Amino acid sequence: MKYTKHYSTKRTPQAQKIPGRENDQAQNNAGGVSFVLDKWKMLDRFLILGSEGGTFYVGEQKLTIENASNAVKCIAEDGIRVVDRVVEISTEGRAPKNDPALFVLALCSCEDFANMETRNHAFDQLSKVARIGTHLFHYVDFCTDLRGWGRGLKKAVSNWYLEKDIDRLAFQITKYQKRDGWSHKDVISLAHPKPETVLQNEIFQYITTEGERKPRNEFINAVDIVKHPNIDEKNTLELVEKYNLPMEVVPTDKRTPKMYERVLHNGAGLTWIMRNLGNLTRHGIISNGKWDNVEFVRNRLEDENQLAKARLHPLQILVALRTYASGGGMRGKNTWIPNPDIIEALDNSFYKAFKFVEPTGKRYLLGIDVSGSMTFETIAGLPITPAEAAAAQAMVTYKTEERVVPMAFAGDFRRLGMSRNQRLDDVLNDTYAMSFGNTDCALPMLYAKQENIDVDVFVVLTDNETWYGDVHPIQALQDYRRTSGIEDAKLVVVGMTGTRYSIADPRDPSTLDVVGFDTATPQIISQFAIGDI
């Protein structure tokens, strides 16, 4: 009897735990066995990817509970560290959505989970994480579901209003008026901010009387005039230009082509521009041949400083690119003929929205998981599947580095026609077309061995729900190191869903977990590749 046929540390089917590693591994959602992610790493995944929509295997409710309980464990261990992590990821614009950060900050504001030191720290950081009125409403909504309106919360929310200068306050309360069933009037009546100046007092009165008592503030007065039904287009355009009014304060029936053009050149933020590329094209503002406007928009979309300042996230840009390139669907009046120059600008913008990376010169193999589970549901609640997102994320390393073999896998190898010059909407379409089937995350390493490819760094983009193979990914990596002679071949696992599983071995310093669509991920991968972390 060859006992090691059934009990080997070098070759274990993915349905079983590796002998000796029983405490580090657990059954994943697909019924295979993975390593269990460290709770701080899981917190990072949640802050960046959230739990909206759930995954192929786990519903939104269960995934949210798992992640919230994990966050609560982190808060119990070191609440200050959690608050600081929330602030870091939120202020650096590393996540496609700010909601998970606001939710975890709300958990840190709650007596049931956090000590007084943590709560005070969370309150102090509120304005950094809740940067606009909409964020404040989200936070207030979460807090109201988690705790009562005690002194600490009232003071923190009051400070949100009181510490802004008057112009900024006027802008915030007019641009972001309502969200999640909350208005500024509701929030103020619970928080009771005590005005410190006459002008503040006037603005609070304006809020609580729902606009009946007018403040001495030209911006707010202009907003009120624009809303008036009798004011004509000429006067509205003048006010928009004079006060840089955002489109949000212009009533829908006054959003004419001329108004779009004026707002574009005056009040428009980069986020608004990106969301309105279809409208701007449909109204003829940036359609083919409108050279000056197209150049204006291109320059803004491709300006790294502006992208960083607006915290425009590459995943949002990817969604905008796909939507824009589609022309807005088959039917209805909201369609447009996409301008190829704008598509190209979005394609460039995507890469610029990641933190800048210097090429490392290392040899990479990019393994993109295109199994069935990667095609179900969305990433971070945006209309992109994890498989598509993985392919787009892989393109960042592919375009940065010279020595790269991209490959796709499910339960078998898939032909991947990816090229460096391919436009992202084509990459997404190709990926979508080849995605289905079982999952064997050992395949990137097995492929490199089979094809005799020298690899310094394996980058595997996956949901980590591996189950199909007869050898664990870490064992395939160890085997590759032995047979190739590249003894320090590294493995970076890019987690594309907010679960607690990973194929990276927490005990192996040459493996690393990072989060898909963290804007810092390409930078972390290259630092790890050259041994800086």
Minimum separation from the CB atom of position 465 to Ca ion (A)? 5
When the beta carbons of 28 and 90 are compared against Ca ion, the nearer one is: 28
Minimum separation from the CB atom of position 439 to Ca ion (A)? 3
Residues 6+ apart with CB under 8 A from 206: 173, 213, 214, 215, 220
When the beta carbons of 13 and 193 are compared against Ca ion, the nearer one is: 13
> Is residue 373 involved in binding Ca ion (CB under 5 A)?
yes
Angle between helices 257-265 and 233-243 (to 10 degrees): 10
When the beta carbons of 26 and 76 are compared against Ca ion, the nearer one is: 26
CA distance 438 to 373: 8
> Is residue 28 involved in binding Ca ion (CB under 5 A)?
no
In single-letter form, the type of residue at position 192 comes to H
Residue 362 in contact with residue 528, Cβ under 8 Å? Answer: no
Q: Which of 148, 142, 76, 83 is nearest to 113 (CA)?
A: 76
Q: Which of 219, 179, 180 is nearest to 199 (CA)?
A: 219
Which residue bears the tokens 């094809």?
Answer: 451
Residue 464 in contact with residue 34, Cβ under 8 Å? Answer: yes
> Is residue 316 involved in binding Ca ion (CB under 5 A)?
no
Question: Candidates 46-54, 152-160, 369-377, 445-453 — which segment interacts with Ca ion by CB under 5 A?
Answer: 369-377
Can you name the residues that pair with 368 across neighbouring β-strands? 408, 461
Minimum separation from the CB atom of position 432 to Ca ion (A)? 15
Minimum separation from the CB atom of position 381 to Ca ion (A)? 20
When the beta carbons of 40 and 376 are compared against Ca ion, the nearer one is: 376
Question: Candidates 83-91, 157-165, 461-469, 485-493 — which segment interacts with Ca ion by CB under 5 A?
Answer: 461-469
When the beta carbons of 174 and 373 are compared against Ca ion, the nearer one is: 373
Question: Candidates 124-132, 216-224, 245-253, 370-378 — which segment interacts with Ca ion by CB under 5 A?
Answer: 370-378
Minimum separation from the CB atom of position 332 to Ca ion (A)? 35
Angle at 369 between CA 364 and CA 372, to 5 degrees: 170
Of 371, 497, 499, 521, which one interacts with Ca ion (CB under 5 A)?
371
When the beta carbons of 373 and 521 are compared against Ca ion, the nearer one is: 373
29: helix, strand or coil: coil
Minimum separation from the CB atom of position 499 to Ca ion (A)? 12
Minimum separation from the CB atom of position 18 to Ca ion (A)? 20
Minimum separation from the CB atom of position 35 to Ca ion (A)? 16
Burial of residue 506 (CB within 10 Å: 0-12, 13-18, 19+) is: middle
When the beta carbons of 249 and 443 are compared against Ca ion, the nearer one is: 443
Residue ranges in 425-444 that form contacts with Ca ion under rule CB under 5 A:
439
Minimum separation from the CB atom of position 437 to Ca ion (A)? 8
Q: Which of 309, 496, 303 is nearest to 393 (CA)?
A: 496
Site string for Ca ion, 284-303 (x = CB under 5 A): --------------------
When the beta carbons of 439 and 475 are compared against Ca ion, the nearer one is: 439
Question: Candidates 58-66, 149-157, 373-381, 440-448 — which segment interacts with Ca ion by CB under 5 A?
Answer: 373-381
Which residue bears the tokens 């094209």?
Answer: 281
CA distance 458 to 466: 16
What number of chain residues touch Ca ion (CB under 5 A)? Answer: 4
When the beta carbons of 56 and 176 are compared against Ca ion, the nearer one is: 56
Residue 261 in contact with residue 290, Cβ under 8 Å? Answer: no
When the beta carbons of 12 and 497 are compared against Ca ion, the nearer one is: 497
Site string for Ca ion, 169-198 (x = CB under 5 A): ------------------------------
Minimum separation from the CB atom of position 390 to Ca ion (A)? 11
CA distance 361 to 78: 38
With b for 16 or more beta-carbon neighbours within 10 A and e for fewer, the 205-230 pattern comes to ebbeeeeeeebebebbebbeebeeee
Alpha-carbon distance values, 163 to 126, 156, 187, 231, 405 (Å): 11, 10, 16, 34, 52
Which residue bears the tokens 């949210």?
Answer: 64
Minimum separation from the CB atom of position 368 to Ca ion (A)? 12
Question: Candidates 184-192, 357-365, 441-449, 459-467 — which segment interacts with Ca ion by CB under 5 A?
Answer: 459-467
When the beta carbons of 200 and 373 are compared against Ca ion, the nearer one is: 373
Which residues contribute to the site for Ca ion (CB under 5 A)? 371, 373, 439, 465
